[in-house]
Amino acid sequence: MEIVGFCVFLQSQNKVYIKYNRIIVMAKELKDLTKRSENYSQWYNDLVVKADLAEQSPVRGCMVIKPYGYAIWEKMQRILDDMFKATGHVNAYFPLLIPKSYLSREAEHVEGFAKECAVVTHYRLKNAEDGSGVIVDPAAKLEEELIIRPTSETIIWSTYKNWINSYRDLPILCNQWANVMRWEMRTRLFLRTAEFLWQEGHTAHATREEAETEAQKMLHVYGDFAEKYMAVPVIKGVKSANERFAGALDTYTIEGLMQDGKALQCGTSHFLGQNFAKAFNVQFVDKNNKLDYVWATSWGVSTRLMGALIMTHSDDNGLVLPPHLAPIQVVIVPIYKNDEQLKQIDAKVEGIVAKLRELGISVKYDNADNKRPGFKFADYELKGVPVRLVMGGRDLENNTMEIMRRDTLEKETRTCEGIEEYVKNLLEDIQNNIYQKALNYRNAHIYKVDTYDEFKEQIEKGGFILAHWDGTPETEDRIKEETKATIRCLPFEADEESLTPGVDMVTGKPSARRVLFARAY
């Protein structure tokens, strides 16, 4: 083989350049994110890509989740899975493909999903006779088309039919971790993608009450997860009829508020009544020997949570990750003049790394010599590592380290004595601080509004708006059309004034209570 060219890589400040045939071009800008104040949407996209979380794939609307992004998702999965198991749920796996006729059994359900279905029609490729390549074999057409699951109620309830005869078979408390596909036309990394990863719980119960309790219980599990692990404060509530899951009698939701004043639905839980049991004829004999249809719930969170996590905490320097979900909680960077000094720092740091690990802290010691400290600092800031420790020559002499916390960028120098416990406490402090900061922001951006003019004015500025609504889908539709705002939920928790009847801000008709509006992702 003959070499036909080569290039070299050069680094200066935070940029890497490629030199190829004497031409120098920039290969990678390591930081310099778009600022949030300039273009929030661009800032988000930049950040997702530059922090190595995800990228667009060659398949329209489908993303590649890169190792660093996937490591965060894995932590979320592990914690959620433990929470599901602690509440009595087990995992199972149901088919990816759903016969078209199954999807159609529940009328509202198919109405809700028909427009975004990826359809499998053939099961074989073959070589084109004209030698032009591989084509779909027309002889291998399926008798009935199969849909890539947009959600699995139909395939699961067709299965539950065989599992349920008597009340003794109930409840069934299954969860599935899976990929699903909804053919979205306008996609954004993590927030709205054609394929996404999620978990979907599907439970079957003997009574209406038990199913309703389950749906609410799982919403609270989601709320706890969002607040305790993601440090994302959420408002829990019930959706209006317009915003319900297709086929549900009630949809419960947790709603977060992003830094641009838009709401993000973080997770939903559905009380499905007997709709799917009726669609698939799933009956059971109850304790009194009476035959009845089974009661159902379903509930899910997805890789969309990554979007909520990123947008709630991050800043113009990059990601800010809550310590409970950060793949690397602590990074240690040495600054050294020569190999001898590095050896001394290595020896010193080794013990600290070991003690940090003993405390259950995930730590990375980055003494690679192919990148300069400044580059490393910028990169770990971009990646949201909660705590950075630095040891230089002076530190070595003084038995100290410089500690920087990512959330406030504050630095201090401390003795190495007991630094491990200090870092452990600092991580908890950061977790609490970013939650409190997000909570303060959220609470400062909830507005009570009584006229439609005020509403229109406020909605342009962003935030949650508590306003009166007459309870009709027509008024809701009108508000959405005119202001792009939707009812996020009827919050479970509300002050007395919000629960006092009033009049609809648009129609002047009676309103039972204030409901929560916002523009949303």
Contact pick of 33, 178, 423, 467 for its own copies (by CB under 8 A): 178
Taking the least distance from each CB to its own copies, the nearer of 83 and 114 is 114
Q: Does 39 bind its own copies (CB under 8 A)?
A: no
Least CB distance to its own copies at residue 505 (A)? 36
Rounded Cα distance between 276 and 249, Å, is 11
Site for its own copies in 101-120 (CB under 8 A): 101-104, 110, 114-120
Q: Which is nearer to its own copies, 64 or 409 (CB)?
A: 64
Query: Smaller CB distance to its own copies: residue 71 or 79?
Result: 71
Which DSSP helix (H) or strand (E) runs through 79?
A: helix 67-86
String marking each residue 305-344 x if it binds its own copies according to CB under 8 A: ----------------------------------------
Cα angle, residue 225 at apex, residues 206 and 67 outer, rounded to 5°: 115
299 near its own copies, judged by CB under 8 A: no
38-43 contacts, C-beta under 8 A, 24 or more apart:
40/259, 40/260, 43/316
**Binding of residue 121 to its own copies (CB under 8 A):** yes
Q: Is 179 in the site for its own copies (CB under 8 A)?
A: yes
Angle (CA) 446-451-453 rounded to 5° is 95
Does residue 159 bind its own copies (CB under 8 A)? yes
Q: What's the min distance (Å) between Cβ of 67 and its own copies? A: 4
Give yes or no for residue 6 binding its own copies (CB under 8 A).
yes
> Do 502 and 445 form a contact (C-beta atoms < 8 A)?
no
Q: To the nearest whole angstrom, how small is the minimum distance from the Cβ of residue 446 to its own copies?
A: 36
Residue found by looking up tokens 């690397």 in the block: 328
User: Which amino acid is present at 98?
Assistant: I
Please state, in angstroms and rounded to a whole number, the distance separating the CA atoms of residues 436 and 145: 50
Q: Which of residues 441-500 bind its own copies (CB under 8 A)?
A: none
Instruction: Return all residues near 45 (Cβ < 8 A) that are at least 6 apart.
Output: 188, 189
In the complex, the smallest distance separating the C-beta of residue 181 from its own copies, rounded to whole angstroms, is: 7
**Integer CA distances (angstroms), 66 to 70, 229, 436, in order:** 6, 21, 30
The residue range among 147-155, 317-325, 431-439, 444-452 that interacts with its own copies, by the rule CB under 8 A, is: 147-155
Whether 396 contacts 336, CB under 8 Å: no
For residue 192, the 8-state DSSP code is: B
Q: Does 27 participate in binding its own copies (rule CB under 8 A)? A: yes
Angle (CA) 224-192-379 rounded to 5° is 75
Query: Least distance from C-beta 419 to its own copies, angstroms?
Result: 27
148-152-154-155 Cα dihedral, nearest 10 degrees: 70
Taking CB under 8 A as the criterion, the residue among 35, 124, 372, 411 binding its own copies is: 124
10 Å CB burial of residue 98 (0-12, 13-18, 19+) is: buried
Which residue, 147 or 515, is less far from its own copies as judged by CB? 147
Position 357 contacts its own copies (CB under 8 A): no
Q: Which of 100, 192, 217, 355 binds its own copies (CB under 8 A)?
A: 100
Directed axis angle between helix 452-461 and helix 473-483, to 10°?
A: 50
Q: Does 57 bind its own copies (CB under 8 A)?
A: yes
CB of 471 to its own copies, least distance (A): 29
Contact flag: residue 181 with its own copies (CB under 8 A):
yes
Check binding of 170 to its own copies (CB under 8 A): no
From candidates 75, 83, 145, 441, binder to its own copies by CB under 8 A: 145
Give me the DSSP letters along 370-427: SS-HHHHHHHHHHTT-SEEEEE-HHHHHHTEEEEEETTT--EEEEESTTHHHHHHHHH
Q: List residues bridging with 238 in a β-sheet.
A: 252, 490
Contacts of 58 (CB under 8 A, 6+ apart): none
Q: Could you say whether residue 25 binds its own copies (CB under 8 A)?
A: no
Q: Where are the beta strands (DSSP E) in 97-212?
A: 97-99, 119-122, 125-127, 134-136, 141-148, 172-181, 195-205
Nearer to its own copies, 127 or 242 (CB): 127
Q: Are 206 and 167 in contact (CB under 8 A)?
A: yes
Q: How many residues of this chain bind its own copies (CB under 8 A)?
A: 79
Site for its own copies in 358-417 (CB under 8 A): 370
Contact region with its own copies (CB under 8 A), list: 100-108, 242-250, 447-455, 507-515? 100-108
Question: Of 352, 349, 351, which is closest to residue 335 (Cα–Cα)?
Answer: 349
Can you tell me which of 12, 130, 133, 358 binds its own copies, judged by CB under 8 A? 133
Element spanning 468, H or E: strand 464-468
If binding is defined by CB under 8 A, does position 131 make contact with its own copies? no
Using the rule CB under 8 A, is 26 a contact of its own copies?
no
Site for its own copies in 62-81 (CB under 8 A): 62-67, 70-71, 73-74
Q: Which of these ranges, 131-139, 198-206, 304-312, 354-362, lies near its own copies under the rule CB under 8 A?
A: 131-139
Residue among 58, 338, 340, 397 that touches its own copies (CB under 8 A)? 58
**Binds its own copies by CB under 8 A, chosen from 12, 86, 291, 481:** 291
Among 96, 241, 342, 512, binds its own copies (CB under 8 A): 96
Cβ 329 to its own copies, closest distance in Å? 16
Residues 229-288 binding its own copies (CB under 8 A) are: 285
